Structure 1
């Protein structure tokens, strides 16, 4: 059976949302259609892409690798369909602010695509923390921002979340917790914990830890994702971070595995922000429509 565009769309939606039911709602189709498409895709590839859990689905190691290929294929198709727009007459300058995590792990690829789609539009990027981004949007210093929308509560800003990156437990390649059928906060609380601090990660972590009777045994607080990666891969501790910043290897070449906790952990939401009631310029509208088309709108109806 040949791999289809529809299967890839449904697979990506399920991978990003972590639940078949949520993927169906996002795509405005039935859950059975999503289930059938993924089964067809797994049959075509001859391998399992998802593990079914009590709270939804999680990517297998093969599924995570295939997700990168799926993104590439869908982006290529999308680019081909937009070829007439490559000679766009949209001109001007757009100041976009971004937080550290977004700029390091999400935005560069999309800036490259926007530059290709709108070659006469100049995009200026500014890396800032959330407080500075919010102030800059309100004062007009920046036109738009791409940031962790799950951290924003400013009523003066309009928010448009695009993706929700699942948070999982990171452990070394031979960690004993990998042998457990399920892992909860109670088990994690007994492990040495490496706490990432950049982009308010520590405050966010404590919000969901505080929903439990447990507390993390923090041995290191660091703003470096690579430091977290190395500590986890070397067996010095565990971490709880989103799939967006996950990579399977540390700089030393040691393996990092992930575990989906049985307890609920909120996803990390990434999206656009701009000053509420601000009239969107043609450039702002183009950027918003690009991200809507890429992440938010269903691209097929079957």
Structure 2
């Protein structure tokens, strides 16, 4: 009996296309980013679903959202793509001589939804380095960086009160979309405006100043929702949205298509110019980072695909 392995049934390019569609939520936008036609992107995703024998996306007029199987496969796809990218960047990596401990400040959202996988991979590459993540709110991060008590932080740079007083390097920007229950009246819209959203109970997550950020872009539009519900729990936000008790506008970074009870949540793109959530590195202006902090900065810039410094 043959013991040979089964042939690989998909290519890195298909995985890249799949990950881009998952991130953008729209096949047309993913095709534009990948510099291919929409029909080519559609065919690539359909072929991937065929060889895997399952649907990876649910389609609607507002775009696409990952199925449960799609979410599981995305985790594998990202691991493969990250490994391939690292092999391309560092095909003959020498063992680093960098060593030491770095206390890295980060906010709740950054720790929970962004940073930890990168830290785990960094420490495998640099076994003599120990990164100690410390959760701090935005106010504490700004004050501690300026005072020199913390050398480096990864923060929501879009929330900084006086950003020009700090050195910043944006790592990622995550668009904000409307979250609604699958059976909500707004769920069938291809796009929604703040006018459409305003009549419904609006859920404000009081996590990482999410409520402050939300009220800022409502105020910039000269509007506000008719009623509010505040909560400090992201799982409560998901549950309330999934039960149809309200809607919210949050970033793709924290989006999950199910509540804890397995109820469906979907996103609708917004017509209004809502600013994205930004995550970035922050350190004291004029300060030269030490070897560990500098190495971590460079790693995150390359691994995340940093938009740039400010």
CA distance in 1, matches of 2:207, 2:301: 27
Residue 147 of structure 2 is aligned to residue 135 of structure 1: no
Structure 1 residue 121: Cα displacement: 0.7
CA distance in 1, matches of 2:111, 2:288: 25
Structure 1 residue 61: Cα displacement: 2.8
- The 1:131–1:242 alpha-carbon spacing in structure 2 relative to 1, beyond 3 Å, is same
Give the TM-score normalised by the residue count of structure 1. Answer: 0.82
Structure 2 unpaired stretches of 5+: 1-7, 50-54
Where 2:196 maps in the other structure, the secondary structure is helix
CA distance in 2, matches of 1:271, 1:37: 34
- The 1:60–1:83 alpha-carbon spacing in structure 2 relative to 1, beyond 3 Å, is same
Residue 66 of structure 2 is aligned to residue 61 of structure 1: yes
Residue 8 of structure 2 is aligned to residue 5 of structure 1: no
Is the Cα–Cα contact under 8 Å of residues 51 and 58 in structure 1 kept in the other structure?
Answer: yes
CA distance in 1, matches of 2:153, 2:45: 37
Q: 1:188 aligns with which of 191, 197, 202?
A: 197
Structure 1 residue 97: Cα displacement: 0.4
Structure 1 residue 280: Cα displacement: 2.2
Q: 1:72 aligns with which of 79, 82, 87?
A: 79
Structure ID, larger Rg: 2
Q: 1:116 aligns with which of 124, 144, 147?
A: 124
CA distance in 1, matches of 2:30, 2:216: 26
Residue 299 of structure 2 is aligned to residue 290 of structure 1: yes
CA distance in 1, matches of 2:283, 2:27: 31
Q: Which segment drifts farther, 272-281 or 16-25?
A: 16-25
Listed one character per residue, the Cα deviations across residues 16-59 of structure 1 (whole Å, up to 9, x for unaligned) are: 5679999899x8xxx74586873563353257969899xxx954
Where 1:198 maps in the other structure, the secondary structure is coil
Structure 1 residue 74: Cα displacement: 1.1
Where 2:80 maps in the other structure, the secondary structure is helix
Residue 231 of structure 2 is aligned to residue 222 of structure 1: yes
CA distance in 1, matches of 2:256, 2:24: 19
- The 1:11–1:193 alpha-carbon spacing in structure 2 relative to 1, beyond 3 Å, is same
- The 1:84–1:275 alpha-carbon spacing in structure 2 relative to 1, beyond 3 Å, is same
The count of aligned residue pairs is 291
- The 1:51–1:210 alpha-carbon spacing in structure 2 relative to 1, beyond 3 Å, is farther
Structure 1 residue 269: Cα displacement: 0.9
Is the Cα–Cα contact under 8 Å of residues 203 and 228 in structure 2 kept in the other structure?
Answer: yes
Q: Which segment drifts farther, 62-71 or 230-239?
A: 62-71
- The 1:73–1:282 alpha-carbon spacing in structure 2 relative to 1, beyond 3 Å, is same
CA distance in 2, matches of 1:40, 1:285: 42
Q: 2:211 aligns with which of 190, 202, 227?
A: 202
Please show how residues 118-267 of structure 1 align to structure 2 within 5 Å. Answer: 118-152=126-160, 153-267=162-276
Structure 1 residue 173: Cα displacement: 2.4
- The 1:276–1:39 alpha-carbon spacing in structure 2 relative to 1, beyond 3 Å, is farther
RMSD (CA atoms): 3.3
Where 1:217 maps in the other structure, the secondary structure is coil
Give the TM-score normalised by the residue count of structure 2. Answer: 0.80
Listed one character per residue, the Cα deviations across residues 173-213 of structure 1 (whole Å, up to 9, x for unaligned) are: 21121123432111210001111111111111111112324
- The 1:34–1:201 alpha-carbon spacing in structure 2 relative to 1, beyond 3 Å, is farther
Structure 1 residue 120: Cα displacement: 0.6
CA distance in 1, matches of 2:208, 2:291: 30
Is the Cα–Cα contact under 8 Å of residues 172 and 306 in structure 2 kept in the other structure?
Answer: no
Where 1:187 maps in the other structure, the secondary structure is helix
